[in-house]
Homo-oligomer: A and B are copies of this chain.
């Protein structure tokens, strides 16, 4: 292993730059040459490579986004696309590849490994929905962003008989909604993993109102439905003025939190070390406070369920009575 390359793929997440930096610096520290590939698998097919040195990753440890950029690439899902990629890697003399991204990213990485090219993965997505790790890089930052936003709404909430609906990201996974709702003290949390019961949400609002609470904050994962529509339903059933916030892509940006940077450093370095040690076709992750690795196949098979454990959801409810 003399030359490795790194790319980011899929939706970007805070901490991707920290991870790129860790991969590059750990690689150089271990005596490797490191290349960056622009635009994910698109750039891999097109040969969009750049040689990286210590200075290439200077001043990026705290930047949101990804300096290598990240595009989706349909072509890479085809055998032809993968062949082009393998040709590029061979031409550039690359011996190993590290991909940073989510579920879809690792499917591509599995193909490369299956075709004999050593590839390891690092989980970078705000959704925290990847098996093989307790947390994904970007999740902690996204939750903090959502919590800070809801804190501000709380400031203004105290004056009126009013309900606030905050729609956070999470198409299939309610992790951001559950964490943000619990940490910001939301009265109700609506997530795809638990059947949404409008009556119950309305009951909690009314119950709170009866004991003197004049306002309620509802956090909803985008996967359950539009915040604007649920706001309408609540307004109809409670009569309270209802205001809607849609956080949207704010949650993908911002400087990564300390926790996300620590994970980025640990996982980034480990992915390099594993390649050097001849370990390939695995995603590194964090479990029980240890850096572990899991074959891509297993990452795909199951889904990350840990945060959705009912105890957490019910704890949130017991504290928002």
Residues in chain A within 8 A of chain B (CB atoms)? 12, 14, 21-22, 25-26, 28-29, 54-55, 58-59, 61-66, 69-71, 134, 140, 143-145, 147-149, 151-160, 164, 179-180, 182-185, 211-213, 228, 243-255, 257-259, 261-262, 265-266, 269, 287-289, 306, 315-316, 318-321
Contact = CB atoms under 8 A, between A and B. Distances in A.
A102 to B, nearest CB: 14
A140 B258 contact: yes
Contact of A144 (B26, B149, B258, B316): B258
Given A29-B318, A144-B257, A319-B29, A65 B183 contact: no
Contact of A154 (B59, B228, B247, B288): B59
23 contacts: A12-B156, A21-B185, A25-B319, A26-B318, A28-B321, A29-B321, A59-B154, A62-B185, A64-B152, A66-B159, A144-B257, A153-B249, A153-B253, A156-B253, A164-B249, A179-B262, A243-B249, A244-B248, A245-B248, A245-B250, A257-B257, A265-B316, A266-B315
Nearest to A156: B252
A266 B69 CA distance: 32
Q: Which 8 residue pairs across A and B have the least CB separation, nearest first?
A: A64-B155, A152-B253, A155-B253, A245-B248, A156-B252, A288-B288, A183-B261, A61-B185
A244 B245 contact: no
Contact of A183 (B70, B151, B258, B321): B258
A58 B320 CA distance: 10
A69 B25 contact: no
A249 B306 CA distance: 32
A154 B244 contact: no
Contacts of A287: 289
Given A144-B257, A159-B66, A289 B250 contact: no
Contacts of A255: 148, 151
B69 A183 contact: no
Contacts of A246: 244-246, 248
Contact of A143 (B58, B164, B250, B258): B258
Contacts of A64: 152, 155-156
A70 B164 CA distance: 17
Contacts of A318: 25-26, 29, 269
Contacts of A70: 159
